[in-house]
Amino acid sequence: MLSDESRKTERITVKILKSKKAVRLADDFFQNVNGETFCEVQLDENNPNWSVFQDIQTKVDQRSEEIVKEADEHKVVIEQLRKHTEKLKEDLDAKYAEIVVLYEDGVKKLTEMQNTFNADQSARKTAFDNAQREREQDFAQEQTDRAKAYEDEKNTFIFILLIIIF
């Protein structure tokens, strides 16, 4: 069995420099196009070879990992937003319940005030009707008293005339 120290991998750095003589397009198109590229590549046991395609694949893999990490971060943000939205909804529901209670209390008070007003109006109308009835009765009594007084005066006058005549 190998120890951990014997498993250590060495990294080898390979420098690819600009080629001194140009490669013909017909001989190697890729080398002709990329022949003047400078690059420094580290090789390890996972990547024992190097090519531009491997470099591109490495960059794609790195960017994919970054995208996955960003997505995970966005999931966390989305979860936080969801929790915050739920809390806001709960707060809004609580405020709505308070408003409903206040509204119902207001309606009760207005109903009580309306009933009190109606009772007062009814009492006033009854009092007015009673006063009107008393005035009518007083007027009728007064008319009766006047008629009686007139009748008494008339009778007295007739009596005095009869006394004078006889």
- Residue 29: inside a domain, yes or no? yes
C-alpha distances out from residue 126 to 77, 122, 161, 164, Å: 72, 6, 51, 56
Residue 116 lies in a domain: no
H or E element, residue 16: strand 12-16
Instruction: Note whether residue 15 is domain-resident.
Output: yes
Residue 136 inside a domain? The answer is no
Indicate yes or no: pTM above 0.75: no
Q: Is residue 151 part of a domain?
A: no
Unique residue bearing structure tokens 């009190």? 116
23 pLDDT higher than 70: no
| Within-domain flag for 34 | yes
- Model confidence pLDDT, tens digit, residues 46-60: 767 777 777 788 889
Give the CA distances from residue 61 to residues 8, 56, 65, 137, in Å, rounded to whole numbers and listed in that order.
Answer: 24, 9, 6, 110
For residue 145, pLDDT over 70 is answered with yes
Query: How many independent structural domains does the chain possess?
Result: 1
Query: Using one digit for the tens of pLDDT, what is the confidence trace for 9-19?
Result: 566 655 555 55
Residue 27: inside a domain, yes or no?
Answer: yes
Backbone angles phi, psi at 99, to 5 degrees: -65, -40
Average pLDDT for the chain: 81
